[in-house]
């Protein structure tokens, strides 16, 4: 062939199956995290839709394929006299030839083998990031270490067996008692809800009163009525509400419990906004989400499923 024809568009006809295929793949990936049943359904959808898609796309090409005379073996006596005449007289054979069947089955079996080998490997690459990631409760020591209405910078190891790399920082303020007579603490996570930099308390740290407890916990009282982030200038007030800069919500907080007179940190949660202060604060509470993601308002629709809310 000469230099002709390669500039014409070769566009396959419209087909809905790519969408079904994508849904199947998405369902499969989601299922890998949530449950194997969902994954199996997703895989089935993907395989069926992929097959139908391929059938749609190759429709034109298949249409143009002229039926090829298959090899035929003439009977012995006619072969000796005049085989060509006999072959020409035969009725046309079906276009779906043996070689096309072998071609398709080789590709299909190859793809199946590839999928069987690849999927578990991909699963191992992705899944450990999402499974068994719950962190234990952290014991911050006796509540007497937390003077009323003052912030204390508490650092602790969220997973002591892994070591220093799991050290986290929380800003703990003892609010005294609520109106109902229950102990109240404001415990802010130091991670900025803009993009995760370490928020610093704006105020002098009392290094003299620094305490180190036996389980790697370190406490330093600080006179702080606001918190600032050094990376991009986020500013929060004493309740963790955004005052200035790029953060999209209030600072994350910890749940807490008091066991044998000791303050124990529970899970993190995200905060849309805090009204009021201290023990009487009204907190709009949401499941924890990644820094930079909205938890309330229209923007929260952009993050319908956050992994930490699915897998714990």
Partner 1 sequence: MAAKSKRQQMVDLAVLAPLDWIDERTAAVRATKWFLFRNVPRDISWGQTLGSAALTAFIVQALTGAILAMYYKPSAAIDPVTGKPMAYSSIEAITDELTLGWLVRGMHRWGASVFIILLFLHMGRVFLFGAYKYPRELNWITGVLILATGMLMGFTGYLLPWDQTAYWATAVGINLNGTAPFAGPWLAQFLAGGPEIGQNTITTFYAMHMLLIPGALIALIFVHIYLVTRLGVASPPWSKEAAGRERPPAAAPAGTRAGLVRGSGGGD
Q: Which stretch binds partner 1 (CB under 8 A): 112-120, 177-185, 217-225, 288-296?
A: 288-296
- The rounded distance, in Å, linking the Cα atoms of 299 and 310 is 20
Pairing of strands 218-222, 151-157: antiparallel
Q: Which stretch binds partner 1 (CB under 8 A): 45-53, 84-92, 127-135, 140-148?
A: 127-135
Among 3, 71, 77, 214, binds partner 1 (CB under 8 A): 3
Minimum distance, C-beta of residue 302 to partner 1, in the bound complex (Å): 4
Count CB neighbours of 2 within 10 A.
4
Strands of the 242-244 sheet, one edge to the other: 200-201, 226-228, 235-237, 242-244
The closest alpha carbon to 33, from 113, 132, 134, belongs to: 132
- Tell whether residue 4 is a contact of partner 1 (CB under 8 A): yes
Within positions 176 to 235, which residues make up the interface with partner 1, using CB under 8 A? 195-198, 231
- Tell whether residue 9 is a contact of partner 1 (CB under 8 A): yes
Q: What is the end-to-end Cα distance of the chain in Å, rounded?
A: 62
- Tell whether residue 116 is a contact of partner 1 (CB under 8 A): no
- The rounded distance, in Å, linking the Cα atoms of 171 and 232 is 20
User: How many residues bind partner 1, per CB under 8 A?
Assistant: 45
The pattern of x and - marking residues 132 through 161 that bind partner 1 according to CB under 8 A reads -x-x----------------------x---
> Within 13 Å and on the Cβ side, how many CA atoms surround 56?
15
Nearer to partner 1, 175 or 308 (CB): 308
Among 163, 204, 233, 297, binds partner 1 (CB under 8 A): 163
Q: ∠ CA 221-224-226 to the nearest 5 degrees?
A: 145
Which stretches of the chain bind partner 1, using CB under 8 A? 1-10, 61, 64-66, 68, 126, 128-130, 133, 135, 158, 162-166, 168, 195-198, 231, 289-293, 302-308
């Amino acid at each position: 062939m000469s230099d002709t024809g390669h500039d014409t568009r070769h566009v396959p006809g419209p087909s809905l199956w790519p969408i079904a295929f994508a849904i199947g793949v998405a369902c499969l990936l989601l299922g890998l995290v949530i449950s194997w049943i969902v994954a199996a359904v997703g895989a089935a959808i993907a395989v069926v839709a992929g097959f139908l898609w391929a059938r749609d796309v190759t429709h034109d090409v298949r249409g143009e394929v002229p039926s090829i005379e298959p090899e035929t073996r003439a009977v012995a006596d006619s072969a000796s006299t005049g085989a060509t005449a006999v072959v020409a007289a035969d009725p046309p054979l079906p276009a779906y030839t043996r070689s096309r069947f072998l071609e398709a089955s080789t590709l299909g079996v190859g793809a199946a083998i590839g999928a069987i080998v690849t999927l578990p490997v991909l699963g191992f690459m992705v899944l450990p990031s999402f499974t068994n990631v719950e962190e234990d409760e952290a014991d911050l020591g006796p509540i007497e270490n937390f003077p009323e209405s003052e912030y204390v910078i508490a650092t602790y190891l969220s997973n002591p067996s892994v070591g220093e790399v799991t050290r986290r920082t929380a800003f703990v303020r003892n609010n005294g008692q609520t109106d109902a007579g229950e102990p109240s603490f404001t415990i802010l996570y130091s991670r900025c809800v803009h993009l995760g930099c370490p928020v610093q308390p704006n105020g002098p740290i009392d290094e003299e009163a620094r305490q180190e407890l036996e389980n790697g916990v370190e406490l330093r009282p600080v006179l702080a009525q606001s918190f600032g982030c050094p990376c991009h200038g986020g500013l929060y007030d004493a309740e963790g509400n955004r005052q200035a800069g790029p953060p999209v919500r209030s600072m994350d907080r910890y749940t807490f419990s008091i066991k044998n007179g000791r303050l124990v940190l529970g899970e993190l949660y995200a905060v849309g906004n805090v009204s009021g202060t201290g023990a009487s604060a009204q907190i709009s509470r949401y499941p924890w989400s990644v820094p930079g993601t909205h938890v309330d308002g229209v923007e929260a629709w952009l993050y319908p499923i956050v992994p930490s809310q699915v897998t714990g």
